[in-house]
């Protein structure tokens, strides 16, 4: 287990990609990230929605607006590990065993255009296949491999709502509802 893992979304444009960015944050939370950092436009409403998911389904996802490159540089200069997800990188299953886990880890995902400096500042440029696809898919596959099966099976101790998955229906346990 690494000391801390945050996901940094670069180049967020409010009004253009809120849904995909929300999905990124939801994957980050569900699969065990400690924080979700947004570089680009500010979006308080998105953070409120994410906090509401954590209130109901548990876990604590810190949400913050940061400067993209400046935050990345500060993270690396202070001894952190930065992993950039990019189709131009090294295959993720080969890269993961080499990545240090004893430092805070920042997973960087791009938006429309990724500045060239990101490739240089990050110690690891990692590909989830070398085809262009989605940052959401890349993050989910990377985190599942990083944490092992525990990522997609994660449960949160402080959850109020617990979903019991069953074939052909769903069971929702509301731990604050005495009538259940």
Q: Which residues bind ligand SAM (CB under 6 A)?
A: 85-87, 109-110, 113-114, 127-129, 131-133, 135, 138
Q: Within a 13 Å sphere around the CA of 178, how many CA atoms are in the beta-carbon half?
A: 0
Please identify, using beta-carbon distances, which residue of 132 and 169 lies nearer to ligand SAM: 132
Please identify, using beta-carbon distances, which residue of 27 and 59 lies nearer to ligand SAM: 27
Please identify, using beta-carbon distances, which residue of 58 and 110 lies nearer to ligand SAM: 110
- Rounded Cα gap, residues 171 and 180, in angstroms: 11
As measured in angstroms, the least distance from the Cβ of 98 to ligand SAM is 16
Nearest alpha-carbon partner for 109 in 147, 154, 142, 76:
142
As measured in angstroms, the least distance from the Cβ of 161 to ligand SAM is 30
- Rounded Cα gap, residues 83 and 104, in angstroms: 11
Please identify, using beta-carbon distances, which residue of 25 and 57 lies nearer to ligand SAM: 25
As measured in angstroms, the least distance from the Cβ of 2 to ligand SAM is 19
The helix/strand/coil state of 99 is coil
Whats the size of the chain, residue-wise?
180
Please identify, using beta-carbon distances, which residue of 68 and 110 lies nearer to ligand SAM: 110
As measured in angstroms, the least distance from the Cβ of 131 to ligand SAM is 5
- Rounded Cα gap, residues 21 and 118, in angstroms: 19
- Rounded Cα gap, residues 107 and 118, in angstroms: 12
As measured in angstroms, the least distance from the Cβ of 12 to ligand SAM is 12
Find how far residue 14's CA is from the centre of its chain: 18
Residue facing ligand SAM at closest CB distance: 110
């Amino acid at each position: 287990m690494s000391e801390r893992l945050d996901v940094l979304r670069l180049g967020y444009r409010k009004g253009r990609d809120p849904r995909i960015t929300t999905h990124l944050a939801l994957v980050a939370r569900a699969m065990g990230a400690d924080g979700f950092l947004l570089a680009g436009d500010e979006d308080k409403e998105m953070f409120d929605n994410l906090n509401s998911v954590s209130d109901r389904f548990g876990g604590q996802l810190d949400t913050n607006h940061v400067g993209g490159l400046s935050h990345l540089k500060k993270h690396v200069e202070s001894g952190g590990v930065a992993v950039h997800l990019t189709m131009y990188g090294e295959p993720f299953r080969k890269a993961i065993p080499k990545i240090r886990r004893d430092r805070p880890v920042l997973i960087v995902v791009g938006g429309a255009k990724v500045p060239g400096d990101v490739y240089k500042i990050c110690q690891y440029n990692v590909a989830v296949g070398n085809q262009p696809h989605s940052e959401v898919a890349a993050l989910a596959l990377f985190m599942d491999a990083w944490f092992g099966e525990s990522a997609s099976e994660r449960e949160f101790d402080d959850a109020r709502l617990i979903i019991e998955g069953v074939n052909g229906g769903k069971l929702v346990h509301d731990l604050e509802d005495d009538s259940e």
